[in-house]
């Protein structure tokens, strides 16, 4: 008997989920997170992958410990900590034992681990593929590969120095100061250099932290600037001098003794980095280890290498004058910095005295040709 049944009706196609929202990969606490999230959340839903976030109860109990205090994430949308990630961080810190090379290598390893985990999560989001994926330098390669397969736009946050330029700069400093053995301790692996280059190629747009990176990248890739917190406080005059960044880890050990001799009676505050050399400088009666800027009249940022010391960001927020090299003050407008050449102690002392006397400008945030806010609009 012939089959008289007609063809089965076609099943209606399931509509594709729209690309909605923003997925942010945050492999470590970062001062750019707050301003970036403020811009992104004003334009739609945001989910932050921050595996380092600790439970609120742990943060409340251990708030006096810097490692714990910096891992509070109650204001990060969608963020929840991973115990295994925190355990890996603590094991890596124990293995590093404060050594500069190991500490920096661990930072790169943890970024790669967070990147790999975020890439797995991207394809499993209940909300569907994100419209935009934002991830930082050395923590974006796998996430971007997955994001491009999903049709998402990729935004790379260049929050770390260019490794090629870093190595060239360290080599120059090591030749100039052959007795400073720590300048030869850390060199990124070849795969890290390759990873950084690949992430730039994968990205649709690169968000930079300052004018140094903006100029370095050129027009090869679309660039935007990461938003910064504006100055919110009026500077109150102080006499202390704060040395931005870990000054004893690189350039500080060659300049700090000369500055102490040239500034009799002045107190210098420092934030020593891992494996600081020479450690005897910390025992000087006019050297104080202190991260606070209370009572500080001027912030020094003297590294000849591209860097973004947190003390410079804090000085901008509080209106404290900054004396430094153009390479390490890229977050600020050049005209608002008392610029000095690396290693020029005499010029540095003159700039410090002028700043303490109230002469010269207050720091102002660098105004980029195009910001992340303008690009999103």
pLDDT of residue 253: 58
DSSP-derived letter for residue 267 is -
Tell me the CA distances in angstroms from 275 to 48, 278, 324, one per residue in order. Answer: 33, 9, 23
Q: What is the dihedral of CA 86, 197, 136, 64, to 10 degrees?
A: 50
Mean pLDDT of the chain: 83
More confident residue, 79 or 40: 40
Same domain, 308 and 244: yes
Tell me how far apart the alpha carbons of residues 80 and 48 are, in angstroms, rounded to a whole number. Answer: 9
Same domain, 132 and 251: no
Residue 180 pLDDT > 50: yes
Mean pLDDT of 199-220: 92
Bridge partners of 289? 270
139-148, 276-285, 336-345, 346-355: which is most confident: 139-148
Same domain, 165 and 295: no
Same domain, 187 and 322: no
Q: How many domains does the chain have?
A: 2
More confident residue, 68 or 346: 346
Place of tokens 């419209």: 131
Same domain, 192 and 247: no
Same domain, 251 and 337: yes
Tell me whether residue 142 is in a domain: yes
Tell me whether residue 222 is in a domain: no
- CATH number reported for the structural domain that contains residue 288 in this entry: 3.40.50.2000
Sequence-distant (6+) residues with CB within 8 A of 261 are none
Positive or negative, the CA dihedral 27, 171, 307, 369 is negative
Residue 103: both structure tokens together: 């500490």
| pTM given for the model | 0.84
Strands 322-324 and 338-339: parallel
Which of 152-161, 280-289, 333-342 shows the lowest per-residue confidence on average (mean pLDDT)?
Answer: 280-289
Same domain, 88 and 191: yes
* pLDDT over 90, % of the chain: 34
DSSP-derived letter for residue 78 is T
pLDDT of residue 75: 83
Q: Which domain holds residue 257?
A: 240-356
Residue 167 pLDDT > 60: yes
Tell me the CA distances in angstroms from 224 to 44, 151, 229, one per residue in order. Answer: 19, 21, 16
Residue 16 pLDDT > 50: no
Tell me the CA distances in angstroms from 355 to 52, 149, 352, one per residue in order. Answer: 39, 53, 5
Find out whether 35 and 69 touch, Cβ atoms under 8 Å.
Answer: no
Same domain, 177 and 77: yes
Same domain, 72 and 197: yes
Residue 119 pLDDT > 90: yes
Tell me whether residue 30 is in a domain: yes
More confident residue, 130 or 272: 130
Residue 268 pLDDT > 70: yes
Find out whether 301 and 324 touch, Cβ atoms under 8 Å.
Answer: yes
């Amino acid at each position: 008997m012939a089959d008289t049944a007609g063809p089965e009706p076609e099943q209606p196609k399931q509509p594709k989920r729209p690309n909605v929202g923003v997925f942010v990969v945050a492999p470590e606490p970062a001062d750019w997170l707050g301003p970036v999230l403020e811009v992104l959340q004003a334009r739609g839903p945001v989910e932050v992958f921050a595996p380092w976030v600790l439970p609120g109860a742990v943060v409340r109990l251990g708030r006096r410990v810097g490692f714990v205090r910096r891992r509070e994430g109650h204001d990060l949308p969608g963020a929840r900590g991973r115990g295994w990630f925190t355990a890996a961080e603590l094991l890596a810190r124990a293995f590093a034992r404060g050594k500069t090379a190991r500490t920096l290598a661990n930072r790169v390893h943890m970024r790669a681990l967070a990147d790999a985990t975020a890439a797995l999560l991207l394809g499993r989001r209940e909300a569907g593929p994100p419209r935009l994926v934002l991830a930082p330098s050395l923590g974006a390669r796998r996430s971007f590969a997955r994001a491009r397969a999903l049709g998402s736009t990729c935004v790379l946050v260049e929050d770390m120095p260019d490794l090629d330029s870093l190595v060239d700069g360290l080599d120059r400093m090591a030749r100039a100061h052959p007795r400073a053995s720590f300048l030869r301790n850390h060199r990124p692996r070849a795969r890290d250099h390759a990873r950084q280059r690949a992430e730039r190629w994968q990205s649709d747009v690169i968000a930079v932290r300052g004018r140094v990176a903006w100029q370095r990248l050129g027009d090869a890739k679309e660039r935007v600037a990461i938003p910064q917190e504006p100055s919110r406080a009026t500077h109150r005059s102080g006499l202390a001098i704060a040395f931005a960044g870990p000054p004893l880890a690189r350039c500080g050990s060659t300049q700090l003794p000369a500055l102490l001799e040239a500034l009799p009676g002045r107190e210098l505050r420092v934030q020593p980095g891992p494996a600081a050399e020479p450690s005897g400088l910390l025992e000087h009666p006019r050297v104080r280890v202190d991260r606070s800027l209370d009572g500080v009249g001027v912030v020094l940022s003297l590294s000849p290498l591209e860097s973004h010391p947190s003390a410079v960001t804090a000085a901008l927020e509080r209106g404290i004058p900054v004396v430094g090299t153009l390479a390490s003050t890229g977050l600020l407008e050049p005209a608002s910095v008392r610029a000095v050449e690396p290693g020029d102690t005499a010029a540095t002392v003159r700039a410090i005295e002028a700043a303490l006397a109230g002469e010269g400008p207050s720091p102002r945030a660098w105004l980029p040709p195009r910001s992340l806010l303008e690009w999103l609009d």
